[in-house]
């Protein structure tokens, strides 16, 4: 059985991975590196959320 990934499924999986990585980075910034480095981890995690939002908006349009 061949499993085909079209562009919408790929964008969906990319969105899911980006959201998971964003949550992991925010959690690292909040719980492990709570000093100055935590702000960087949190900012990058929010950036991952923004990119995931763009990927989600592109589904069906590309």
**Structural domain count of the chain:** 1
Query: Residue 26: its pLDDT value, please?
Result: 93
Q: What is the full per-residue pLDDT of the chain (62 aa) written as tens digits?
A: 567 888 888 888 999 999 999 999 999 999 988 888 889 999 999 999 999 999 889 887 77
Note whether residue 1 is domain-resident.
no
Domain region containing 42: 7-58
Long-range CB pairs of 47-54, under 8 A, 24+ apart, other chains included: 47/22, 48/18, 48/19, 48/21, 48/22, 49/18, 49/19, 49/22, 51/18, 52/14, 52/15, 52/18, 52/19, 52/22
Note whether residue 2 is domain-resident.
no
């Amino acid at each position: 059985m061949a499993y085909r990934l079209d562009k919408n499924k790929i964008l969906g999986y990319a969105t899911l991975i980006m959201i998971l990585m964003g949550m992991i980075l925010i959690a690292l910034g909040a719980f492990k590196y709570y000093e100055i480095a935590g702000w960087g981890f949190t900012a990058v995690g929010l950036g991952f959320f923004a990119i995931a939002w763009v990927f989600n908006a592109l589904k069906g349009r590309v």
